[in-house]
Structure 1
Amino acid sequence: MTTPTVSADAAQHAGGSSFYLAMRILPRQKREAMFEIYKFCRKVDDVADSHGPRNARLAELNRYREDVAALYQGRVSERMGGFLGPVRDFGLRREDFLAVIDGMEMDVLADIRAPDLATLDLYCDRVASAVGRLSVRVFGVPNDDGVSLSYHLGRALQLTNILRDVDEDADIGRLYLPRECLIAAGIDSEDPHLVLAHPNLGRACAPLIGKARDHFMQARTIMDRQPRASVKAPRIMAEAYAPMLDTLQRRGFAAPRDRVRVDRLRLIFAVLRYGIL
């Protein structure tokens, strides 16, 4: 059986994003597998972020679990059909798909507000590093280094997103800044909007900036010892996202906070440097 052509739905979900540009430089088989992974993650994320009743969203996530179980039993649902080839060709693991769903479930069971550091790390592992563990198998990074790269780059990207999206998350009742950092900064509230209005918000965010930088550094060390072809896509993502930490630090966290975005020119340069030149 040939690897299925990437669906129009998968391309539509990825189109226009930094992810899309980074994955476009991959060979066709790997590119299409990554688009399917991206589509899966976006679909379950949409379930978690929808405004439907929690019970209905939990039931939908359970249906995705059933779809994953069916896939590994040789019974493929319509929405998981695009994974027939990737699971066979790249050895994608069921537990990584399930971890992604478990991470989305954390957002559905209750709005996350000021989790402790251990809970935040678990969340990052599920919603980001598990995606990385699926991805490195497609990229062809050897297992031990692939797991380590997923650990560090997944957390680096997710912490950067958390710092970037504090206002958007607050608007839906969520606050991912860890409780320990808030307390250390003299912030005793877990109410998202009260925390974001506090004058010490920048102090609470500073440790996460440091953690994200360290994870980017560890990820680069791992990528430096890999063959260029196997890490060109994750390098592009790292080069696009890591500078956002400097932008966030320069901007500060006092209101009003301008939206920080991936520098499109830097992203294009990274694509040229690692994907083409």
Structure 2
Amino acid sequence: MSAGAMTDPSPQPTPEANLPAAGSSFYTAMRLLPKSRREAMYAVYAFCRAVDDVADDGGPRDVRAAELERWRADIDALYAGRPPARVRDLVGPVAQYGLKREDFQAVIDGMAMDAAEDIVAPDEATLDLYCDRVASAVGRLSVRIFGMPEADGIKLAHHQGRALQLTNILRDIDEDAGRGRLYLPREKLAGIGLAHPTPDEAIRHPRIGEVCRAVAAEAQAHYDATWAIIARSPRKATKAARLMAAAYRLYLDAVLRRGWEMPRARVKPGKPALLWVALRHGIV
């Protein structure tokens, strides 16, 4: 979405823009769902995509903040029974699957963290809050659509959201630095002698691999917890979660194999590996 479009308080994305990219892990995982659940997930995805576009490409910070406030008001109106046009696709999913207002608002809170300022070396608590808002909150919406039992669904969202978001952070450190952002935690950077680094200083530091491997270990612990919950849960309700966890684990493996020496090529798992994940977890 262009910065110019964000001056319209109610921009309407095209239907194509609402959908995940064909061939992506998310698209493949959602295609495994029954039609009503799949369409509900696409509606949630469209919302998340729209507010993410505001945070990343919505123009000056005051414009981004104002647009996110409009999204907050739209979500409130949705739950008050007066949904504006751009959230009407969420009416059915909210009613059918019991989606929580606070989870939609948490997603907006996460985007507001990016919109307010470029995040650089947050402390561990702030990073965990960010992961909860931009990833685990989406997971809490998703597990209700998947049909997960409540208690284990919330636990799955907690661990899988953090596993996936930490994987994204490790995969995207160079791209994020190019935007002036650094999501690696302050405490771990201080451990290699970086007290207040710029993003570029951090990603070029000769010991940055130590920090990244420590973050990868935390991601792995969350993957382990994710799979433990999946193993004891109804198989049909975890099909999409299984595929997402397995696909993102390939990205974590890929960045660990590549290492952290400069220059770093952007990693992407091979098509055969992704196809195997789709075949293995796409069959109940």
TM category, shorter: over 0.9
After superposition, what is the alpha-carbon deviation per residue over 1:166-221, rounded to whole angstroms, capped at 9, x for unaligned?
Answer: 01101110000000010112223420011111101101111100000000000000
Aligned CA distance change for structure 1 residues 227 and 12 (closer, same or farther; 3 Å): closer
* Between 181-190 and 51-60, the greater mean CA deviation after superposition: 181-190
1:243-258 matches, within 5 Å, as: 243-258=250-265
1:160-179 matches, within 5 Å, as: 160-179=167-186
1:45 equivalent in structure 2:
52
Shift of 1:265: 2.6
In the alignment, is residue 91 of structure 1 matched against residue 98 of structure 2? yes
In the alignment, is residue 132 of structure 1 matched against residue 143 of structure 2? no
Aligned-partner residue type, residue 216 of structure 2: I
Shift of 1:51: 5.5
After superposition, what is the alpha-carbon deviation per residue over 1:30-61, rounded to whole angstroms, capped at 9, x for unaligned?
Answer: 00011111111111011000161100000000
Secondary structure in 1 matching 2:282: helix
1:188-207 matches, within 5 Å, as: 188-207=195-214
In the alignment, is residue 26 of structure 1 matched against residue 33 of structure 2? yes
1:1-277 matches, within 5 Å, as: 8-9=15-16, 12-50=19-57, 52-276=59-283
TM-score, structure 1 normalization: 0.94
* Between 124-133 and 30-39, the greater mean CA deviation after superposition: 30-39
Gaps of 5+ in 2: 1-13
Aligned CA distance change for structure 1 residues 164 and 137 (closer, same or farther; 3 Å): same
CA RMSD of aligned residues (A): 1.4
After superposition, what is the alpha-carbon deviation per residue over 1:13-34, rounded to whole angstroms, capped at 9, x for unaligned?
Answer: 4434210011101000000011
Stretches (4+) displaced over 6 A: none
Shift of 1:126: 0.1
Shift of 1:262: 3.9
Residues 137 and 157 in structure 2, CA contact (< 8 A), matched pair in contact too:
yes
1:4 equivalent in structure 2:
none
Residues 10 and 35 in structure 1, CA contact (< 8 A), matched pair in contact too:
no
Gaps of 5+ in 1: 1-6
Residues 187 and 200 in structure 1, CA contact (< 8 A), matched pair in contact too:
no
Indicate the percent of aligned positions where both proteins have the same amino acid.
55
* Between 42-51 and 130-139, the greater mean CA deviation after superposition: 42-51
Distance 2:34 2:83 in 1: 25
Aligned-partner residue type, residue 90 of structure 1: Y
TM-score, structure 2 normalization: 0.92
* Between 48-57 and 84-93, the greater mean CA deviation after superposition: 48-57
Shift of 1:231: 0.1
Aligned CA distance change for structure 1 residues 78 and 263 (closer, same or farther; 3 Å): farther
Residues matched between the structures, number: 271
